Chain A
């Protein structure tokens, strides 16, 4: 009996195993449905900026009264025209352009890497590094709560990311005021930035949409393209360090309303009338061309200034050129905003 019971039990055991195997085999034959998740592309790596548009804005710096295509409101325009490039040397303004927006308008290659939570082994953040003097932008993916609008704002702001299909969408708040264009257009500390990272094979397209209820009337859309770089891109730039640059304490360089001597350069260099150069949402749309057609005057002759890569012409040399004292790579020359 004992033996029979034992065999009976053994038989039950074999039958149980058999059914388990059957279930597994049947399940294996059916389409997988468990643990569905959105496919995510791997963005990590080095990405070289394709400087095929906006080089004047990225490198040499725009013409001082170039606010074309920026949806400035009156307050934004007033502030932009008040701007004196010398103010950029004030200690409290030296790092003014070091916000995530500088990724959009700067000449920077970027390096992207994931930050993995050791406990969950999930990507807790994507890190975007690459600006000249800015710490990496952290795009938090763990859904942590966004700080209050009243919490301290800083240059990096606070960014949360989500995936939509293969697009990584990052939304930044809690920013300090910064430079929108280096000719002197500003963004306020109420600014929000939506950055969308889209990978197309070995190309990375990034859309930036900046909204600012204080100085803009509409969202300001911008975009960059990058190509995957086999070699690491240089992100080992020095941090922005506040120092004395010749502007004495208590002195604030600025222009009084209507007294900015730099207004008119767009007309002089490009033949573009003032109502266009001073920006505003209307300048973004095709129909604006009808308004300025009669006022536009093509400069005569062949282009002689800012005609090739966007670099400003080198200043007259008074001393023999010297080799860079350190390093093997020299950062591309950038002018102070609006200078």
Chain B
């Protein structure tokens, strides 16, 4: 009887292990199938940034809405070389050289009073157009190893979603594990391959060594309005003594009625 019991028990245990292994294999297969190819930038978007947005100029008004005074670099961590360049600012010379858009480059463009039009150019490329200065920025969601080409005012931007998901509590004081659908998120954009330009209209310079990191955050609806905060962080070993960080606010607009393209200006 004892032998029979042991034999039965062993068979049961073997069956249990088999079921368990099958369940594990099925779960892994399900995980692989669930993973599949990574979603495109458009499909993975945890928030919708597309549409028309207008600048809310409530900070640094005197440096953004009018042309700042010659030699005024309040708040900007310029080094001595940068001050020298700023002091030599000559907008007429910029215009003559066809460089009237130097204050509309990627490190400065979000501070320009303007409207943005954000769309998907394709499933892996977000397009941002500005009415002020008629600039176009492209945010690439696939990092390319190809030569990014010549440096430009808007440079090359690589974008990724920082997705926040529900998490499963793994217990025991261990870190929780993200799972489930996205609940929120933000866009991180890293830009390089820039030509030199101005952080402000009065010739405060950044060099072609500058790099820009931005975070696009949708804020909760306030007073029935959708706001977007853009945090821009500029590093430039040539002209800045430290990282330069500013926040710019935008309000969602329901239509293109305020869209008013205007060319770059070196003086206004």
Contacts and interface: CB of A to CB of B under 8 A. Distances in A.
Q: Do A and B come from one complex?
A: yes
Interface of A: 4, 7, 10-11, 14-15, 18-19, 21-22, 25-26, 28-39, 50-57, 66, 68-70, 164-167, 169, 194, 196, 198, 200, 203, 205, 207, 209, 211, 218-225, 227, 266, 270-272, 276, 283-289, 292-293, 296, 298-299, 301-303, 306-310
B37 interface: no
B58 A31 contact: no
A18 B9 contact: yes
Contacts of B24: 25, 28-29
A293 B9 contact: no
Contacts of A68: 61-62, 65
Contact of B2 (A7, A57, A302): A7
A205 B231 contact: yes
B12 A15 contact: yes
Q: Which 4 A-B pairs have the closest CB atoms?
A: A165-B184, A223-B247, A165-B164, A29-B24
A286 B69 contact: no
Contacts of B132: 286
Interface in B230-267: 231, 233, 243-249, 258, 260
A281 to B, nearest CB: 10
Given A284-B56, A299-B69, A307-B72, A36 B188 contact: no
A57 B58 CA distance: 12
A277 to B, nearest CB: 9
Nearest to B214: A200
A293 B75 contact: no
A52 B227 contact: no
Contact of A211 (B65, B220, B222): B222
A307 B55 CA distance: 25
A22 B9 contact: no
B90 interface: no
B229 A29 contact: no
Contacts of B84: none
A70 B244 CA distance: 24
Interface of B: 1-2, 5, 8-9, 12-13, 16-17, 19-20, 23-24, 26-27, 30-31, 54-62, 65-67, 69-77, 87, 113-115, 132, 162, 164-171, 176-180, 183-186, 188, 215, 217, 219-220, 222-223, 225, 227, 229, 231, 233, 243-249, 258, 260, 268
Nearest to A226: B245
Most interface-central of B58, B72, B168, B186 (chain A CB within 10 A): B58
B237 to A, nearest CB: 17
A39 B169 CA distance: 9
A52 B226 CA distance: 25
Contact of A194 (B13, B171, B222, B243): B222
Nearest to B185: A165
Contacts of B59: 53-54, 57, 69, 222-223
Contacts of B225: 219
A153 B16 CA distance: 65
A298 B5 contact: no
A307 B200 CA distance: 14
B167 A39 contact: yes
A205 B229 contact: yes
A276 B64 CA distance: 13
A32 B231 CA distance: 35
Given A205-B229, A225-B247, A303-B70, A310 B75 contact: yes
B170 A22 contact: no
Given A32-B177, A307-B69, A52 B76 contact: yes
Given A164-B184, A194-B220, A221 B168 contact: no
A36 B247 CA distance: 33
A158 to B, nearest CB: 18
A143 B8 CA distance: 56
B223 to A, nearest CB: 5
A7 B1 CA distance: 9
A68 B183 CA distance: 37
B23 to A, nearest CB: 4
B217 to A, nearest CB: 5
Contact of A53 (B19, B75, B186): B75
Contact of B168 (A34, A209, A225): A34
B69 A22 contact: no
Given A29-B24, A165-B185, A309-B75, A292 B115 contact: no
Nearest to A54: B59
Contacts of A306: 72, 74
Contact of B19 (A7, A26, A169, A221): A26
A33 B71 CA distance: 60
27 contacts: A11-B5, A11-B9, A18-B16, A25-B20, A29-B23, A30-B27, A31-B31, A33-B179, A35-B171, A36-B167, A38-B164, A38-B166, A68-B65, A166-B184, A200-B186, A200-B188, A203-B215, A207-B217, A221-B227, A223-B59, A223-B231, A223-B249, A276-B66, A285-B57, A293-B268, A302-B71, A307-B72
B247 A205 contact: yes
A134 B34 CA distance: 52
Contacts of A209: 219, 222-223, 227
A164 B166 CA distance: 11
Contacts of B62: 56, 66, 68, 266, 270, 272
